[in-house]
Amino acid sequence: MDIFDQKKENRSLTTIIFDRVRDDILSGKYVTGEKIVEAKLADELGVSRTPVREALKQLELDGLVENLPNRGVIVKGITDQDIGDIYTIRLAIEAIAAKWSVHRMEKAELDQLREIFELMEFYAAKQDVDKFFELNTIFHETIYHATKSRYLEHLLKDFQLFIKSTRNASLRVEGRMDKALAEHRTILEAFISRDEERAVESITKHISNSRANVDRTRNITLDQR
């Protein structure tokens, strides 16, 4: 789907460009320190410079780029400290999400969570990391949505996006996908039984294990705060 097809979905050009460039930064297409030339990007996308300029301003507010005097727009990307900070915050607020959603989740949402897990089982057996990763994201976003808190949902979905590449690489470590599947089974069982304490405990353990695996994958020590 090209940029003008997306425009038909009633999304502004600025938003479409913002999403595309953000994805390119987070996927590693743009590397840290690389310069993004406004005019060149506008030509590549076939748009005027105005929506590109506005999108780059939004990316600067998100901390993904920096507009430096005499240098232009430079990619900052996601640092190891950013990843550590995100996991620390996730440990706290995903527990809140679990506490709220285990009681607020509707039957249709619970059925959806069960179906997503069954698909995760299927693709784990096939060792299809890409499909498992996609379903893993949807599994968590289903829980976020069930909190019925648009602020919490938005924040947690952004965190998922910001560390997308890191999470994907983590799942490719030998044995991690099977362990993650077992962790998601425990989470699902807690939601089925509407067990708040177990839901919080299982999600907290899952995030902690994910963080430890990322630490090993990136050969870093994520800041414990």
Give the whole-angstrom CA distance, residue 50 versus residue 112.
Answer: 41
Q: What is the pLDDT of residue 152?
A: 97
Q: What is the pLDDT of residue 219?
A: 64
Give the whole-angstrom CA distance, residue 68 versus residue 32.
Answer: 14
Q: What is the pLDDT of residue 80?
A: 87
Q: Show Cβ contacts of residue 203 under 8 Å, excluding neighbours closer than 6 positions.
A: 94, 95, 97, 98, 143, 187
Q: What is the pLDDT of residue 11?
A: 79
Considering the domain 3-75 in this protein, what is its CATH number?
1.10.10.10
Q: What is the pLDDT of residue 224?
A: 43
Give the whole-angstrom CA distance, residue 192 versus residue 216.
Answer: 32
Tell me which CATH homologous superfamily contains domain 80-218: GntR ligand-binding domain-like (1.20.120.530)
Domain boundaries, the chain: 3-75, 80-218
Give the residue ranges of the chain where pLDDT is below 70: 1-10, 218-225
Q: What is the pLDDT of residue 225?
A: 40
Give the whole-angstrom CA distance, residue 65 versus residue 54.
Answer: 13
Confirm if 170 and 210 have CB atoms less than 8 A apart. yes
What is the layout of strands, in order, in the sheet containing 65-68? Answer: 35-36, 72-75, 65-68
Q: What is the pLDDT of residue 179?
A: 97
3-state DSSP assignment of residue 68:
strand
Q: What is the pLDDT of residue 8?
A: 46
pTM of the model: 0.82
Q: What is the pLDDT of residue 221?
A: 45
**Which amino acid is it at 159?**
F
Confirm if 136 and 103 have CB atoms less than 8 A apart. no
